[in-house]
A and B are shown apart, each in its own frame.
Chain A
Amino acid sequence: MEKFARNEPALWMIQLFRVSKIYPPNYPALTDIHLHIEKGEFVFVSGPSGAGKTTLLRLLFREEEATEGQIIVNGRNITRLNGARVARLRQAIGLVFQEFKLLPSMSALENVALAAEVVGMSRTESRRRAFHLLRELGLKDKHDARPPTLSGGEQQRVAIARALVNDPILVLADEPTGNLDAEMAEETMRLFLKIHEKGTTIIIATHDSGLLRRFQHRVVLLQRGRLMADSKTAGRSMVSKVEP
């Protein structure tokens, strides 16, 4: 199988060229977004609820198709893709959601291993990798636990383990701390930082401006579907404007 995450010497992980998304019948969720993200960057996509953060991420893992403009991920144009290529794109991306999206009938280990198995890794190897990842993320005793018996923070860590099991080049997280209390949110964010330190590009959508102040990274601000500010080009001062 052709690997999506083939070595790509260029600088950019993500390039959006004048991207717009109009939900049918004619609701403009994103308008004219021009945005570049380097490989290895850590970026917050921020803005009030309804600003278009989720839509932006969904365009990147091709859950939605851009209405206009071009989207390049790791040097590949993903604006128009058939089903097989969407699958391949997603094998290179780790996804984390606010609501965890874990299967309650499977153990933590099985939840993580499933993601590796369905892309062609053997059952044994999948479980081995899942086992090590869970241990690494501090869930050593929770392999056999079913998600409903875990705390929110633990569930999110299982979800992060699943996002990492296929060695993604890019991690997209949509409000990953939205369902967590402050302490667990903090812990989860540290995990993302750790992953980032290993060179993975990370994009986190959040409306929590507290996170942006605590973790000083690039912030892209959306408002009503438009890119209002970008700390990379405007300096950190803009963060103070992001009060909800």
Chain B
Amino acid sequence: MKLAQALFVLRRVLRSLRELVWTHLLTSGTMAMTLFIFGGFLLIQENLQGLLRGWGSRIQIFAYLENGLSPADLQSLAAEVRAYPEVESVRFVSKTEAWESFKKTLGTQSGVLEGLPPDILPSSLEIALQRAHRQRASVAGIAQRLRGIKGVGEVEYPDEWIEKLSLLVLGVQWAKWILGGFLFLATMLIVGSTVKLAILARKDEIEIMQLVGAPAGLIKAPFIVEGMVQGIVGASLALGVLWLLYLLARYHLPASLAILPSGDQLQFLDAAAASLLVFLGWLLGAGGSWFSLRRFLKTW
């Protein structure tokens, strides 16, 4: 396409955006709704994942030790575990320490322990894992290996809620794509029909351009560029509304509703997610226009 033709397209797009500003805004608004819902899922997913990471930092494996190990045995055992590549740190909890902390947990009811020998609880290793390994498969694998070590009795790790939270994240992830996919298609059809209206409104102009020998690309380009602009504006609208809701949730959610561990804050979409949303808007607009043009423009 020659420069003169590109300028021609630009002028037409600007004219159309100016003259049909409300039509274009309406289409942008439609796209914004779809992108808002998709972006909402993204936001929820991102925060759940943050939650998972936060809780994950407190995932520890407890390896209870058998009675009668010598200090030297304990030393070498702890050293062996510390040498695992997945392990971040190992803390030894002596029988006495375990007893004290158990008593503390029971608080005022610690009277029930009266008369029991203070070495009734086993000593243990508290094993924290490296970030990359704070997931079920790794945890289970390491626990299995620990069980095989001589001197280690029971091995425990918090299992259920990691799994449940992971499932929730997975669910949101899928819902995002499935629901988002349906909405995307529906919006594309809506965009397609507004482009169809735009084509019908400019039917005579298009016919004349075709008759005087305008290249097909020149005739289509303004519609596609308009669609892209609509999509990007729609995505920006969606991001704006999400941002407002995010601020609202962050500062006005009652503390009792806060599911996040204290100190953690709700996160907004990161740059990649925001770009994804804008890209989807762009695609929505360009794709809707392109499909519609294919169906409504005469070709040879």
Contacts and interface: CB of A to CB of B under 8 A. Distances in A.
Contacts of A118: 5, 8, 209, 212-215, 218-219
Contacts of B204: 101, 103
A81 B216 CA distance: 14
Contacts of A89: 213
B4 A82 contact: no
- Give the interface SS of chain B, mostly helix, strand, loop or mixed: helix
Nearest to B219: A118
A91 B213 CA distance: 5
B207 A88 contact: no
A86 B300 contact: yes
Given A82-B300, A117-B8, A95 B215 contact: no
A121 B212 CA distance: 13
A103 B208 contact: yes
B293 to A, nearest CB: 13
Interface in A88-130: 88-93, 95, 101, 103, 114-115, 117-123
Nearest to A84: B215
B213 A119 contact: yes
Contact of A120 (B4, B205, B299): B4
A200 interface: no
A162 interface: yes
A63 B8 CA distance: 25
Given A82-B300, A121-B4, A123-B8, A90 B213 contact: yes
A40 B2 CA distance: 32
Nearest to A81: B300
B213 A83 contact: no
A21 interface: no
A166 B213 contact: yes
Contact of B212 (A65, A115, A122, A123): A115
A62 B212 contact: no
A9 B209 CA distance: 30
B4 A166 contact: no
Contacts of A62: 300
A87 interface: yes
B213 A88 contact: yes
Interface in B241-274: none
Interface string A41-74: 0000000000000000000011101000000000
Contacts of A91: 212-213
Interface string B191-226: 000000000000011011111111110110000000
Given A87-B214, A91-B213, 19 more contacts: A62-B300, A83-B216, A84-B216, A87-B210, A87-B215, A87-B216, A88-B213, A89-B213, A90-B212, A95-B211, A114-B209, A117-B4, A118-B209, A120-B5, A122-B4, A123-B7, A123-B8, A162-B212, A166-B213
16 contacts: A83-B300, A86-B300, A87-B214, A88-B213, A93-B213, A101-B207, A103-B204, A114-B209, A115-B208, A118-B212, A118-B215, A119-B214, A119-B215, A121-B4, A123-B8, A166-B212
